[in-house]
Amino acid sequence: MEKVRLTQLVKSAGCAAKIFPDILSEALSGINWYSNENILVNFDVKDDAGVYRLDDQIALIHTTDFFTPVVDDPFIFGQIAAANALSDIYAMGGTPLSALNIIAFPQTQDLGILRDILKGGMQKAKEANCAVIGGHSVDIPEILYGMSVTGKANIKSFVTNSGAKPGDCVILTKALGTGLLNNCIKFKGLDSGEIYEGLINSMTTLNKSASELMLKYNASACTDITGFGFAGHAMQLSKASKTGLEINTSAIPVLNGVRDAINEGLFTRGDRSNREYTKDFVIWEKEIDVFLEHIIYDPQTSGGLLICLDESNCNSFMSELNSDDARIIGKVISEQVIRFV
């Protein structure tokens, strides 16, 4: 039997398949979302997850994330989708507790593929000590997979995207470029070698260690970098915090192979929509680096954490994280812009 290439069964892949931010904002507007006194975080600041006060000590963190295949291997796709869903819990300093599978799958397709997707998701949830306790499925032509995850956090120490303070250092814990390289898989058949392995390692790595360390070092703000790209999520954090970011362009980590993908024009549809989303917030202090411009707008799948820390704690955080890809990339400023210098 001919091997099924999952990326050929869908129109767009991973977090690049998100509804464009301007269209989503329009759809969400005008709805009087019900809330109550126990809701600590909701739609207002476009944070990574919702937070519900359970009692005086514990908050529950709720998130959901699912998308179309970014790779052709179903087990690896399951791992990536689960890591991506768990990331929203980690971005708020939470501990995942339980998860529900979300699956869309054409039931005329080989059910072994579905089984491998679910096995991959389960394996990554197990690594996070997060029990998979059920789920929901639908029979439609395009494959989708992800999870709804519930986590917990100390009510006094969970991290939001709204606490960044001028003078904080800014850390990015994973290299950028997953959207461009995922298009290399979809359109160029990339499925092995150093570039492929680096991409898969990045997307399947949990943000668990970085999350635990940011709590240890009292991070002031955090978000994870996913479908709205570095620029989009950095802008959301800045607006929520009523601050801005000054980013050292030479410090931004980039995955191997990304520049070649840019040279070949393998951009996702998010490149355009993320530019539009952030056009009034991004400032270049010197001549625009066209390569870097594509990279900051590239939608990330299972991307890293963007963490704001008191400058005195940055080097200790980096030393303990001990990651080849993590970088100190800039600082928080009072002006509400993202300035690339």
pLDDT tens profile 282-331: 999 888 888 999 999 999 999 999 999 999 999 999 999 999 999 999 99
Mean pLDDT of the chain: 92
CA pair distance 227, 216, nearest whole angstrom: 28
Q: Domain-by-domain residue ranges, the chain?
A: 6-154, 169-340
> Is residue 170 very low, low, confident or very high in pLDDT (cuts 50, 70, 90)?
very high
Per-residue confidence band for 230, with pLDDT thresholds at 50, 70 and 90 = very high
Q: Return d(Cα 25, Cα 171) in angstroms, integer.
A: 28
For residues 126-151, average pLDDT: 96
Least confident of 171-180, 188-197, 198-207: 188-197
**Would you say residue 197 has pLDDT above 60?**
yes
Check residue 34 and give its pLDDT: 81
Model pLDDT, residue 1: 45
328 vs 103: CA distance, rounded Å: 37
Amino acid, single-letter form, for residue 72: D
CATH fold label, 169-340: Phosphoribosyl-aminoimidazole Synthetase; Chain A, domain 2 (3.90.650)
Provide the percentage of residues in the chain whose pLDDT is more than 90: 78
Q: What is the pLDDT of residue 12?
A: 64
Question: What is the dihedral angle through the alpha carbons of 98, 121, 227, 137, rounded to the nearest 10 degrees?
Answer: -80
Query: Is the pLDDT confidence value at 15 over 60?
Result: no
Degrees to nearest 5, angle at CA 50 with 48 and 52:
145
Does the pLDDT of residue 223 top 90, yes or no?
yes
CA–CA distance, 241 with 250 (Å, rounded to integer):
25
CA 234 to chain centre: 12
Catalytic residue list: 15
Q: Is the pLDDT reported for residue 94 higher than 50? A: yes
Question: What CATH topology corresponds to 6-154?
Answer: 60s Ribosomal Protein L30; Chain: A; (3.30.1330)
pLDDT of 17 over the 70 cut: no
Residues 6+ apart with CB under 8 A from 208: 86, 90, 128
Q: What is the pLDDT of residue 269?
A: 85
Give the pLDDT score at 14: 54
Asked whether 17 and 7 are in contact (CB, 8 A), the reply is no
